[in-house]
Protein backbone atom coordinates (compact mmCIF):
# COMPACT_ATOMS: atom_id res chain seq x y z
CA UNK A 1 0.00 0.00 0.00
CA UNK A 2 1.49 3.38 -0.98
CA UNK A 3 1.29 5.92 1.85
CA UNK A 4 2.68 9.44 2.30
CA UNK A 5 5.38 7.89 4.48
CA UNK A 6 6.46 5.02 2.23
CA UNK A 7 5.22 1.65 1.02
CA UNK A 8 3.69 -0.87 3.42
CA UNK A 9 3.16 -4.49 2.36
CA UNK A 10 0.24 -6.51 3.69
CA UNK A 11 1.19 -9.79 5.32
CA UNK A 12 0.01 -13.36 4.83
CA UNK A 13 -3.13 -14.07 6.88
CA UNK A 14 -3.73 -17.61 5.67
CA UNK A 15 -3.19 -20.35 8.28
CA UNK A 16 0.26 -21.27 7.00
CA UNK A 17 2.30 -21.97 10.16
CA UNK A 18 5.57 -20.56 8.84
CA UNK A 19 4.63 -17.45 6.84
CA UNK A 20 1.02 -16.87 7.89
CA UNK A 21 -1.03 -16.92 11.09
CA UNK A 22 -1.35 -20.68 11.50
CA UNK A 23 0.27 -20.59 14.95
CA UNK A 24 -1.75 -17.65 16.17
CA UNK A 25 -4.25 -18.23 18.94
CA UNK A 26 -7.66 -16.61 18.86
CA UNK A 27 -6.50 -14.29 21.64
CA UNK A 28 -3.47 -13.18 19.64
CA UNK A 29 -5.61 -12.58 16.57
CA UNK A 30 -8.10 -10.41 18.47
CA UNK A 31 -5.27 -8.49 20.12
CA UNK A 32 -3.88 -7.66 16.68
CA UNK A 33 -7.33 -6.73 15.43
CA UNK A 34 -8.01 -4.27 18.22
CA UNK A 35 -4.63 -3.23 19.58
CA UNK A 36 -2.35 -3.41 16.55
CA UNK A 37 0.15 -5.81 18.13
CA UNK A 38 1.23 -9.06 16.44
CA UNK A 39 1.81 -12.50 18.00
CA UNK A 40 5.41 -11.59 18.85
CA UNK A 41 4.38 -8.31 20.48
CA UNK A 42 5.50 -6.02 17.65
CA UNK A 43 3.46 -2.93 16.88
CA UNK A 44 1.58 -3.00 13.58
CA UNK A 45 1.37 -0.03 11.26
CA UNK A 46 -2.07 1.60 11.17
CA UNK A 47 -2.38 0.92 7.44
CA UNK A 48 -4.00 -2.12 9.07
CA UNK A 49 -7.04 -0.23 10.42
CA UNK A 50 -7.07 -1.49 14.00
CA UNK A 51 -8.21 1.99 15.03
CA UNK A 52 -11.53 0.98 13.41
CA UNK A 53 -11.50 -2.71 14.25
CA UNK A 54 -11.40 -1.86 17.95
CA UNK A 55 -15.17 -1.31 17.56
CA UNK A 56 -15.76 -4.88 16.36
CA UNK A 57 -17.79 -7.11 18.67
CA UNK A 58 -16.36 -10.20 20.37
CA UNK A 59 -18.59 -12.49 18.32
CA UNK A 60 -17.52 -10.95 15.01
CA UNK A 61 -13.85 -10.98 15.98
CA UNK A 62 -14.08 -14.68 16.83
CA UNK A 63 -15.95 -15.37 13.59
CA UNK A 64 -13.19 -13.64 11.61
CA UNK A 65 -10.56 -15.81 13.31
CA UNK A 66 -12.55 -18.96 12.56
CA UNK A 67 -12.90 -17.95 8.90
CA UNK A 68 -9.21 -17.23 8.36
CA UNK A 69 -8.28 -20.52 10.01
CA UNK A 70 -10.65 -22.37 7.67
CA UNK A 71 -9.09 -21.26 4.37
CA UNK A 72 -6.30 -23.08 2.57
CA UNK A 73 -2.84 -22.15 3.85
CA UNK A 74 -0.50 -20.44 1.42
CA UNK A 75 3.25 -20.25 1.93
CA UNK A 76 4.16 -16.67 1.04
CA UNK A 77 6.16 -13.93 2.72
CA UNK A 78 5.65 -10.21 2.11
CA UNK A 79 8.60 -8.00 1.15
CA UNK A 80 9.99 -5.69 3.84
CA UNK A 81 8.22 -2.39 4.22
CA UNK A 82 9.88 0.53 2.46
CA UNK A 83 9.86 3.21 5.16
CA UNK A 84 12.52 5.78 6.11
CA UNK A 85 14.13 6.08 9.52
CA UNK A 86 12.73 6.47 12.16
CA UNK A 87 9.37 5.26 10.80
CA UNK A 88 10.90 1.86 10.10
CA UNK A 89 11.39 1.45 13.86
CA UNK A 90 8.14 -0.04 15.11
CA UNK A 91 8.64 1.30 18.63
CA UNK A 92 7.68 4.74 17.31
CA UNK A 93 4.15 3.38 16.88
CA UNK A 94 3.76 3.19 20.63
CA UNK A 95 3.76 6.97 20.71
CA UNK A 96 1.33 7.13 17.79
CA UNK A 97 -1.07 4.84 19.61
CA UNK A 98 -0.78 6.84 22.80
CA UNK A 99 -1.86 9.92 20.87
CA UNK A 100 -4.49 8.50 18.56
CA UNK A 101 -5.68 4.97 19.36
CA UNK A 102 -8.88 4.82 21.39
CA UNK A 103 -9.95 1.29 22.20
CA UNK A 104 -13.70 1.67 22.37
CA UNK A 105 -16.40 -0.84 21.47
CA UNK A 106 -19.40 0.13 19.43
CA UNK A 107 -22.35 1.26 21.54
CA UNK A 108 -25.76 1.46 19.92
CA UNK A 109 -27.55 4.80 19.96
CA UNK A 110 -30.95 4.18 21.60
CA UNK A 111 -32.44 7.19 19.82
CA UNK A 112 -31.84 5.55 16.41
CA UNK A 113 -33.45 2.52 14.83
CA UNK A 114 -31.87 -0.93 14.54
CA UNK A 115 -30.96 -0.49 10.86
CA UNK A 116 -29.16 2.81 11.52
CA UNK A 117 -27.16 1.27 14.38
CA UNK A 118 -26.27 -1.78 12.30
CA UNK A 119 -25.14 0.48 9.49
CA UNK A 120 -23.00 2.63 11.75
CA UNK A 121 -21.41 -0.45 13.29
CA UNK A 122 -20.45 -1.76 9.85
CA UNK A 123 -19.33 1.61 8.44
CA UNK A 124 -17.23 2.61 11.44
CA UNK A 125 -15.92 -0.84 12.31
CA UNK A 126 -15.61 -3.72 9.86
CA UNK A 127 -16.05 -1.47 6.82
CA UNK A 128 -13.61 1.18 8.19
CA UNK A 129 -14.99 3.63 5.59
CA UNK A 130 -13.48 6.64 7.34
CA UNK A 131 -9.98 5.22 6.82
CA UNK A 132 -10.17 6.50 3.24
CA UNK A 133 -13.00 9.02 3.29
CA UNK A 134 -11.60 11.16 6.15
CA UNK A 135 -8.60 13.52 6.01
CA UNK A 136 -5.50 12.73 8.02
CA UNK A 137 -3.11 14.87 10.02
CA UNK A 138 0.63 15.13 9.55
CA UNK A 139 1.18 11.97 11.60
CA UNK A 140 -1.23 9.94 9.49
CA UNK A 141 -4.09 9.78 11.99
CA UNK A 142 -7.65 10.51 10.96
CA UNK A 143 -8.91 13.95 11.89
CA UNK A 144 -11.74 13.11 14.25
CA UNK A 145 -13.27 16.55 13.81
CA UNK A 146 -13.51 16.07 10.03
CA UNK A 147 -14.89 12.54 9.69
CA UNK A 148 -16.04 11.68 6.17
CA UNK A 149 -14.94 15.04 4.77
CA UNK A 150 -12.82 13.37 2.09
CA UNK A 151 -9.38 11.79 2.01
CA UNK A 152 -6.75 10.19 -0.20
CA UNK A 153 -6.34 6.50 -0.99
CA UNK A 154 -3.69 4.94 -3.22
CA UNK A 155 -3.53 7.81 -5.66
CA UNK A 156 -7.28 8.44 -5.74
CA UNK A 157 -9.55 10.91 -3.99
CA UNK A 158 -11.98 9.27 -1.58
CA UNK A 159 -14.84 11.73 -1.84
CA UNK A 160 -16.45 13.47 1.08
CA UNK A 161 -19.63 11.80 2.30
CA UNK A 162 -22.70 13.32 3.87
CA UNK A 163 -23.11 17.09 4.08
CA UNK A 164 -19.63 17.72 2.73
CA UNK A 165 -20.25 15.77 -0.48
CA UNK A 166 -19.53 17.68 -3.68
CA UNK A 167 -21.82 15.44 -5.75
CA UNK A 168 -24.05 17.60 -8.00
CA UNK A 169 -26.91 15.24 -7.14
CA UNK A 170 -27.38 14.53 -3.42
CA UNK A 171 -26.90 10.91 -2.48
CA UNK A 172 -29.99 9.25 -1.06
CA UNK A 173 -30.44 5.83 0.49
CA UNK A 174 -31.61 4.17 -2.72
CA UNK A 175 -28.64 5.50 -4.71
CA UNK A 176 -26.17 4.47 -2.02
CA UNK A 177 -27.67 0.98 -1.83
CA UNK A 178 -27.38 0.47 -5.58
CA UNK A 179 -23.88 1.93 -5.77
CA UNK A 180 -22.52 -0.15 -2.89
CA UNK A 181 -24.13 -3.33 -4.19
CA UNK A 182 -23.42 -2.89 -7.92
CA UNK A 183 -20.54 -0.43 -8.06
CA UNK A 184 -22.39 1.96 -10.33
CA UNK A 185 -25.30 4.41 -10.38
CA UNK A 186 -26.61 6.37 -13.32
CA UNK A 187 -26.44 9.71 -11.48
CA UNK A 188 -23.14 9.12 -9.70
CA UNK A 189 -20.92 7.09 -11.99
CA UNK A 190 -18.89 3.92 -11.53
CA UNK A 191 -16.58 2.94 -8.68
CA UNK A 192 -12.91 3.09 -9.66
CA UNK A 193 -9.58 2.81 -7.90
CA UNK A 194 -9.67 1.26 -4.40
CA UNK A 195 -13.45 1.72 -4.27
CA UNK A 196 -13.84 -0.79 -7.11
CA UNK A 197 -12.32 -3.45 -4.85
CA UNK A 198 -14.65 -2.41 -2.03
CA UNK A 199 -17.81 -2.86 -4.06
CA UNK A 200 -16.53 -6.13 -5.49
CA UNK A 201 -16.38 -7.42 -1.91
CA UNK A 202 -19.70 -5.84 -0.95
CA UNK A 203 -21.37 -7.75 -3.77
CA UNK A 204 -20.82 -10.85 -1.61
CA UNK A 205 -22.26 -9.27 1.54
CA UNK A 206 -25.77 -9.85 2.87
CA UNK A 207 -27.99 -7.29 1.06
CA UNK A 208 -29.52 -6.37 4.42
CA UNK A 209 -26.10 -5.29 5.68
CA UNK A 210 -25.38 -3.30 2.51
CA UNK A 211 -28.77 -1.63 2.93
CA UNK A 212 -27.99 -0.81 6.55
CA UNK A 213 -24.72 0.85 5.54
CA UNK A 214 -26.56 2.89 2.92
CA UNK A 215 -29.22 3.84 5.48
CA UNK A 216 -26.60 5.13 7.89
CA UNK A 217 -24.52 6.94 5.25
CA UNK A 218 -27.65 8.61 3.85
CA UNK A 219 -28.39 9.98 7.31
CA UNK A 220 -25.07 11.87 7.23
CA UNK A 221 -26.28 13.92 4.28
CA UNK A 222 -29.51 15.24 5.74
CA UNK A 223 -29.33 18.94 4.97
CA UNK A 224 -31.41 21.64 3.41
CA UNK A 225 -30.89 23.76 0.36
CA UNK A 226 -30.03 20.99 -2.08
CA UNK A 227 -32.18 20.39 -5.12
CA UNK A 228 -34.02 17.16 -5.75
CA UNK A 229 -33.48 15.05 -8.81
CA UNK A 230 -35.75 15.10 -11.79
CA UNK A 231 -35.53 13.05 -14.89
CA UNK A 232 -35.04 14.95 -18.11
CA UNK A 233 -36.79 13.77 -21.28
CA UNK A 234 -34.54 11.10 -22.66
CA UNK A 235 -33.95 8.74 -25.49
CA UNK A 236 -32.46 5.27 -25.23
CA UNK A 237 -29.38 5.22 -23.07
CA UNK A 238 -29.61 8.85 -21.96
CA UNK A 239 -29.06 9.23 -18.26
CA UNK A 240 -31.22 11.35 -15.93
CA UNK A 241 -30.09 14.81 -14.94
CA UNK A 242 -30.25 16.81 -11.75
CA UNK A 243 -32.65 19.69 -11.57
CA UNK A 244 -30.87 22.86 -12.55
CA UNK A 245 -27.96 21.00 -14.18
CA UNK A 246 -27.85 21.44 -17.90
CA UNK A 247 -26.21 19.02 -20.24
CA UNK A 248 -23.25 20.53 -21.97
CA UNK A 249 -24.26 22.05 -25.28
CA UNK A 250 -22.60 20.57 -28.34
CA UNK A 251 -19.19 22.06 -28.02
CA UNK A 252 -17.93 24.85 -30.18
CA UNK A 253 -14.15 24.68 -29.91
CA UNK A 254 -13.70 28.10 -28.35
CA UNK A 255 -10.64 27.01 -26.42
CA UNK A 256 -8.22 24.07 -26.61
CA UNK A 257 -10.07 22.12 -23.90
CA UNK A 258 -13.37 22.59 -25.68
CA UNK A 259 -11.92 21.31 -28.91
CA UNK A 260 -10.57 18.20 -27.19
CA UNK A 261 -13.92 17.64 -25.48
CA UNK A 262 -15.74 17.84 -28.82
CA UNK A 263 -13.30 15.44 -30.44
CA UNK A 264 -12.98 12.70 -27.82
CA UNK A 265 -15.72 13.06 -25.18
CA UNK A 266 -18.96 14.47 -26.55
CA UNK A 267 -20.04 11.52 -28.67
CA UNK A 268 -20.38 9.31 -25.58
CA UNK A 269 -21.24 11.84 -22.88
CA UNK A 270 -23.78 13.82 -24.91
CA UNK A 271 -25.17 11.14 -27.20
CA UNK A 272 -27.89 8.55 -26.85
CA UNK A 273 -25.65 5.52 -26.63
CA UNK A 274 -26.78 2.80 -24.28
CA UNK A 275 -24.46 1.21 -21.74
CA UNK A 276 -21.70 0.26 -21.74
CA UNK A 277 -20.65 2.95 -24.25
CA UNK A 278 -23.01 5.66 -23.05
CA UNK A 279 -21.28 7.94 -20.57
CA UNK A 280 -22.73 9.68 -17.54
CA UNK A 281 -23.78 13.27 -18.18
CA UNK A 282 -20.79 15.25 -17.06
CA UNK A 283 -22.96 17.81 -15.31
CA UNK A 284 -23.59 15.00 -12.80
CA UNK A 285 -19.94 14.08 -12.32
CA UNK A 286 -18.38 14.40 -8.88
CA UNK A 287 -15.01 13.91 -10.57
CA UNK A 288 -15.53 17.31 -12.20
CA UNK A 289 -17.32 19.01 -9.30
CA UNK A 290 -15.03 17.64 -6.57
CA UNK A 291 -12.39 19.44 -4.60
CA UNK A 292 -9.39 17.95 -6.41
CA UNK A 293 -8.71 16.93 -10.03
CA UNK A 294 -7.20 13.59 -9.01
CA UNK A 295 -10.00 11.26 -10.02
CA UNK A 296 -10.89 13.05 -13.23
CA UNK A 297 -7.28 12.96 -14.41
CA UNK A 298 -6.96 9.29 -13.42
CA UNK A 299 -10.05 8.49 -15.48
CA UNK A 300 -8.82 10.42 -18.51
CA UNK A 301 -5.39 8.76 -18.35
CA UNK A 302 -6.50 5.23 -17.48
CA UNK A 303 -10.08 4.97 -18.71
CA UNK A 304 -12.70 2.63 -17.23
CA UNK A 305 -12.17 -1.06 -17.99
CA UNK A 306 -15.01 -3.37 -18.93
CA UNK A 307 -16.80 -4.95 -15.99
CA UNK A 308 -16.12 -8.61 -15.29
CA UNK A 309 -19.53 -8.96 -13.64
CA UNK A 310 -22.88 -9.59 -15.23
CA UNK A 311 -24.21 -6.03 -15.09
CA UNK A 312 -23.67 -3.41 -17.78
CA UNK A 313 -21.31 -0.79 -16.37
CA UNK A 314 -19.90 2.10 -18.40
CA UNK A 315 -16.59 1.57 -20.13
CA UNK A 316 -14.22 4.25 -21.32
CA UNK A 317 -10.93 4.13 -23.21
CA UNK A 318 -7.89 5.67 -21.56
CA UNK A 319 -6.36 8.66 -23.32
CA UNK A 320 -3.01 8.70 -21.55
CA UNK A 321 -1.25 7.52 -24.70
CA UNK A 322 -3.21 9.85 -26.98
CA UNK A 323 -3.27 13.16 -25.13
CA UNK A 324 -0.24 15.03 -23.84
CA UNK A 325 0.00 16.57 -20.37
CA UNK A 326 -1.01 20.02 -21.61
CA UNK A 327 -4.00 18.60 -23.51
CA UNK A 328 -5.22 16.71 -20.44
CA UNK A 329 -4.88 19.87 -18.36
CA UNK A 330 -6.77 21.91 -20.97
CA UNK A 331 -9.55 19.31 -21.08
CA UNK A 332 -9.82 19.14 -17.30
CA UNK A 333 -10.00 22.94 -17.00
CA UNK A 334 -12.68 23.08 -19.69
CA UNK A 335 -14.81 20.50 -17.90
CA UNK A 336 -14.29 22.15 -14.53
CA UNK A 337 -15.16 25.68 -15.63
CA UNK A 338 -17.59 25.25 -18.51
CA UNK A 339 -19.54 22.20 -17.36
CA UNK A 340 -19.22 22.18 -13.57
CA UNK A 341 -19.30 25.98 -13.40
CA UNK A 342 -16.54 26.10 -10.81
CA UNK A 343 -13.19 27.82 -10.47
CA UNK A 344 -10.14 26.05 -11.96
CA UNK A 345 -8.34 23.61 -9.71
CA UNK A 346 -4.98 24.22 -8.14
CA UNK A 347 -2.44 21.44 -8.58
CA UNK A 348 -3.67 20.21 -11.94
CA UNK A 349 -0.19 19.78 -13.45
CA UNK A 350 0.88 17.74 -10.43
CA UNK A 351 -2.23 15.57 -10.70
CA UNK A 352 -1.46 14.76 -14.35
CA UNK A 353 2.14 13.85 -13.51
CA UNK A 354 1.06 11.61 -10.63
CA UNK A 355 -1.64 9.93 -12.69
CA UNK A 356 0.90 8.97 -15.34
CA UNK A 357 3.31 7.70 -12.72
CA UNK A 358 0.66 5.65 -10.91
CA UNK A 359 -0.61 4.10 -14.11
Per residue, the 3-state secondary structure of the chain, as one string, reads CEECCEECCCCCCCCCCCCCCCCCCHHHHHHHHHHCECCCCCECCCCCCHHHHCCCCHHHHHHHHHHHHHCCCCCCCCCCCECCCCCCCCCHHHHHHHHHCCCCCCCCCCCCCHHHHHHHHHHHHHCCCHHHHCCECCCCCECHHHCCCCEEECCEEECCCHHHCCCCCCCCHHHHHHHHHHCEECCCEECCCHHHHHHHHHCCCCHHHHHHHHHHHHHCCCCCCCCCEECCCCCCCCCCEECCCCCCCCCCCCCHHHHHHHHHCHHHHCCCCCCCCCCCCHHHCHHHHCCCCHHHHHHHHHCECCCCCCCCCCCECCCCCCCCHHHHHHHHHHHHHHHCCCCCCCCHHHHHHHHHHHC
CB 347 within 8 A of CB 292: yes
Per-residue pLDDT at 84 exceeds 80:
yes
Residue 181 belongs to a domain with what CATH number? 1.10.760
154 & 180 share domain? yes
Q: Is residue 229 part of a domain?
A: no
pLDDT at position 308 is 64
Q: What is the tally of structural domains in the chain?
A: 3
Q: Band the pLDDT of 69: cuts 50, 70, 90.
A: very high
Q: Is residue 228 part of a domain?
A: no
Length of the chain: 359
Phi, psi of 153, rounded to the nearest 5 degrees: -150, 110
Per-residue pLDDT at 116 exceeds 80:
yes
266 & 341 share domain? yes
272 & 341 share domain? yes
90 & 121 share domain? no
213 & 255 share domain? no
251 & 341 share domain? yes
Q: Is residue 251 part of a domain?
A: yes
257 & 291 share domain? yes
Q: Is residue 346 part of a domain?
A: yes
Q: Is residue 239 part of a domain?
A: no
User: Where is the domain boundary, 42, 71, 100?
Assistant: 100
195 & 93 share domain? no
Per-residue pLDDT at 238 exceeds 80:
no
Q: Is residue 233 part of a domain?
A: no
96 & 122 share domain? no
156 & 208 share domain? yes
The residue among 4 and 125 whose pLDDT is bigger is: 125
pLDDT at position 321 is 92
251 & 353 share domain? yes
- Say whether pTM exceeds 0.95: no
* Residues 297-326: tens digit of each pLDDT: 999 999 988 776 555 677 889 999 999 999
Query: Cβ neighbours of residue 320 under 8 Å, at least 6 residues apart?
Result: 300, 301, 302, 355, 356, 359
66 & 154 share domain? no
pLDDT at position 310 is 52
Side-chain half-sphere of 27: how many Cα atoms within 13 Å?
A: 2
Region 223-228 average pLDDT? 41
Q: Is residue 260 part of a domain?
A: yes
Residue 289 structural domain? 247-358
Angstrom distance (rounded) from CA 290 to CA 137: 21
Q: Is residue 232 part of a domain?
A: no
User: Where is the domain boundary, 54, 70, 100?
Assistant: 100
Amino acid sequence: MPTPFGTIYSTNITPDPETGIGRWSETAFIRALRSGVDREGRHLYPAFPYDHFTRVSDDDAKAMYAFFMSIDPVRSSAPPNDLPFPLNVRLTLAGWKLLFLRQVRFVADPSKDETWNRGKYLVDGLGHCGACHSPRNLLGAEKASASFEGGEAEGWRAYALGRSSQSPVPWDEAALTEYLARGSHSQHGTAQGPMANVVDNLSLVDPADVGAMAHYLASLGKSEGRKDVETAPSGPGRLPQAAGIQAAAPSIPSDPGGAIYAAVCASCHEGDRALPLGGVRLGLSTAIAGETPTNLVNLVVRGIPASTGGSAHPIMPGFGDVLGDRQISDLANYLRVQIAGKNPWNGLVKAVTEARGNR
